[in-house]
Chains A and B, each alone.
Chain A
Amino acid sequence: MSTEATTVHGHGPAPGIMRWITTTNHKDIGTLYLTFSFIMLFVGGAMAMVIRSELAQPGLQIVNPDFFNQMMTLHGLVMIFGVLMPALVGFANWLVPMQVGAPDMALPRLNNWSFWLLVAGMSMLLSTLLMPGGAMEMGWTMYAPQSLQTPFSFAFSIFSIHLMGISSILGSINIIATILNLRAPGMKLLKMPLFCWSWFVTAFLLIVIMPVLAGGVTMLLFDRFFGTSFFDAAGGGSPVLFQHVFWFFGHPEVYVMILPAFGIISEIIPTFSRKPIFGYTAMVYALACISFISFAVWAHHMFTSGMPTAANLFFMYASMLIAVPTGIKIFNWIATMWRGSLTFETPMLFATGFIVTFTIGGFTGVMMALVPADFQYHNSYFIVAHFHYVLAGGTLMALFGGIYYWLPKWTGHMYLERLGKTHFWLTIISLNVLFFPQHFLGLAGMPRRVPDYALQFTDFNLISSIGAFVFGASQLLFLYNVVRTVHRGKQATDRVWEGAHGLEWTVPSPAPYHTFQEAPDVK
């Protein structure tokens, strides 16, 4: 492999905009993914602001119910497929090759293709807003038969889901191929950093579930446009079948969004505790265990659909079982901090905040696994609080922490520490003001996915909306901090954090365009 840099024909980046369109460099593609997800964070966030503005008071003030439902549906899809997953893939692109000592991803051209497929898919999804009849209105779960009542833009939504699914599958193949083939000599699987492990497991999940989603939405497409009756009771189909297909994808999908976040947290906590991760092997097995069980719990989203008692019992027990490996991870993080020498720079603040908020989501998760209790919790604001505690309080917090943690390595500049800490405190406080009252709303009987509600729910909704506005505004600080760090800031050292270990910290900051062209020695 040549070591000479420079020129378009060599190994340097192409000049101008073509660098970003044609790049096959894992760092460039990682940056593209992260930038894309950053933009989408504000798009999806703006939709959330519309939702919370309408819900601040009872009655209809800002949007009509149909547009509210479109916002609610797109908010979910954008946050899942446009923000959390691309951001995590962005981290994987930047970090997996650097952490296993590889020069690039195993399939660089495929890597480029998966990114641009994602952009195409997400753009098409958003464009349905401008089509006659508007975007989908039935929530990201697309339950039949309501989804069969949608305007023709539904076909575009389905096609965009196919595109994003292909993008995820290709990205996953790439990650698995990189990890299996390009590890530096001596980097045994059980020596890999936990972030690589988390993505290794997640990639398998994605490859299994994405075709299932593709199959499910294709059946919807046929029912809607070609006269089949997979999900139409009048034609002999079953609406519940769609729920089974969807959640067989949907539940592992939840773990797709949280497992790499676990990986990020498992990197940050040892660094700022100045201690090795506690129970490395247990952490790896817990990851594998969670992903394995995640295929056997899907129907806990359907406890109220009238399944037989035996099925309800099975899915209750399986869902509760997931709490055990998840608990192991939380205990091991705390044990990693235990008797360490802790400092709380911004990444560590976010990691600690992650444990606090994610654990609340874990507790409500165990409560909802109990079928009879779920008869009350199901589809109420209680579950809205639950999954926002694990996705916003979990994955998003881990993403923020991860950005602050690796940004100096990526850009060569330190971010503004005070601003980062302010961002953290504003985020975690407003997040709790935003989502904690939603538990009360759900228990008191407020359904989810409504643009309007009875007067008794007003107070908590107003508190929640105030929290949402502060939460949204706080992210502008983050935007400023990141954009500023990309351009200037105090020069970062190669190791950046004194407690950091791992191959990515052995290369200069900012990381050169090509790293590990010769495999490093891993002891």
Chain B
Amino acid sequence: MTRKLAVLPILCAALFAAPAAWADLQFNMPRGVTPISHQIYDLHMFAFWMMVGLGVVVYGGLMWTVIFHRRSRRKKASQFHENAKVEIVWTTLPFLILVALAIPASIVLVNTQNFHNSDLKVQVTGYQWLWQYEYLDKKAEPVYGFYSRLSLASLKRMSIDPPKSPWTDPHYLWDVNHPMIVPVHKKVLLLITSGDVIHSFWVTEFGGQVDAIPGRITQWWINVQKPGIYRGVCNQICGGGHAYMPVVVVAVPQDAFYRWLAASRAGRTSGPPTMAQAKALMHGNVPLALNGASSSEKRLASEVKS
């Protein structure tokens, strides 16, 4: 325990040395923006505090014996080496703690697998090293889709010969050319697969990751509670570009979403959404070109509401 404490001054010194960065440091998992991410965060914190409690017991006992049972204080060692009672206690108690952890974990797990009654389905396909997002209709046929890869600003800076500074791009490795757009307050089912090797679709704010496996479809559901830009990464090594296939999902108001989707299907947009366009949609600013949807476009939009 004393050695743990010895670490603290160094860590603290290192942290306080950069007070500007202090505010940006993220120590914990984000609570996220979906019902599942909230449940997972709460489970994580529950497990964390359980472990802190156990740590107090274990390290407390260890520290006590290290301080008070040294030879300088006790010339002669006791010779006991068995005690059935305490052994039963420290077999049973941890078991009960595990049961206390397993119950909420099982409940949350079942909730994460509730894939029924989704309002929208999006197929996510991983490739070396980009993502493809396809919006599906009720029959699970893709109606609109596009590819999403690392932003040009990041691409220009990821060079080793000559080395370039990434610091001139505040969103280095954090931006894509075409983000995925989802509506808020709708249950969106993500159907995840891969076109080559295994990838993993991970947005921390959405509560977790799912592997993208060739020949298989894995699922994850989200119901984003507030508009925003949510960033993630590929989390399964997939070759040299593994670090360079970020995920950006922009959650926008429902109205803006369906008008954008209908206009995109009708070919009235200039192509897949850019970051700037997505941000505008997020604020509810629907560009004029997307307004005035014809009745046929409204029908197209309603088709994806399954």
Contacts and interface: CB of A to CB of B under 8 A. Distances in A.
Contacts of B241: 65
A335 B94 CA distance: 16
Interface in A93-126: none
Contacts of A143: 197-198, 236-237
Interface in A316-353: 316-317, 320-321, 323-324, 327-328, 330-332, 334-344, 352-353
Interface string B1-22: 1011011001100110010010
A146 B198 contact: yes
A145 B105 contact: no
B208 A306 contact: no
Contacts of A443: 26-29
Contact of A59 (B110, B158, B174): B158
A446 B102 CA distance: 27
B296 interface: no
The secondary structure that dominates the A interface is helix
What band does the interface of chain B fall in when counting residues whose beta carbon is under 8 Å from A? 35 or more
B4 A146 contact: no
B237 A449 contact: yes
Q: Which of B83, B171, B215, B216 has the most CB of A within 10 A?
A: B215
Q: Which of B58, B214, B237 has the most CB of A within 10 A?
A: B237
B286 to A, nearest CB: 30
B172 A425 contact: no
B287 interface: no
B29 A330 contact: no
Q: Which of B112, B113, B166 has the most CB of A within 10 A?
A: B166
Nearest to A72: B237
Nearest to B58: A359
A240 interface: yes
Contacts of A233: 213-216
A445 B94 CA distance: 30
Contact of B79 (A275, A321, A327, A364): A275
A331 B110 CA distance: 34
Contact of B55 (A275, A353, A363): A363
B26 A305 contact: no
Contact of A316 (B102, B112, B216, B217): B102
Interface stretch (B41-49, B131-139, B177-185, B273-281): B41-49
A306 B112 CA distance: 11
A339 B70 CA distance: 8
A60 B163 contact: yes
Interface residues of A, number: 105
B7 A436 contact: yes
Interface in B63-103: 65-66, 69-71, 74-83, 86-87, 90-91, 94-95, 98, 101-102
A186 interface: no
A59 B165 contact: yes
A60 B159 CA distance: 6
Contacts of A372: 36, 39-40, 43, 105, 108-109, 112, 207-208
Contact of A367 (B11, B44, B62): B44
Given A60-B163, A376-B208, A447-B235, A323 B65 contact: no
A341 B76 contact: yes
B70 A429 contact: no
Interface stretch (A32-40, A44-52, A153-161, A277-285): A277-285
Interface string A129-164: 000000001110001011001000000000000000
Contact of B198 (A239, A282, A352): A239
Interface in B239-267: 239-244, 246
28 contacts: A62-B160, A63-B160, A143-B236, A234-B214, A274-B71, A279-B83, A280-B81, A305-B213, A306-B219, A341-B69, A341-B71, A352-B66, A355-B62, A356-B4, A356-B62, A367-B47, A367-B51, A372-B43, A375-B40, A375-B208, A433-B10, A433-B11, A447-B235, A454-B174, A454-B246, A455-B172, A455-B174, A459-B24
Given A64-B240, A65-B244, 18 more contacts: A69-B240, A139-B237, A239-B214, A239-B215, A275-B80, A282-B87, A331-B58, A334-B62, A336-B81, A340-B77, A343-B70, A356-B62, A376-B44, A433-B10, A436-B7, A436-B11, A447-B243, A454-B231
Q: Which 9 A-B pairs have the closest CB atoms?
A: A233-B215, A375-B208, A306-B218, A450-B243, A341-B77, A59-B166, A60-B160, A363-B51, A444-B26
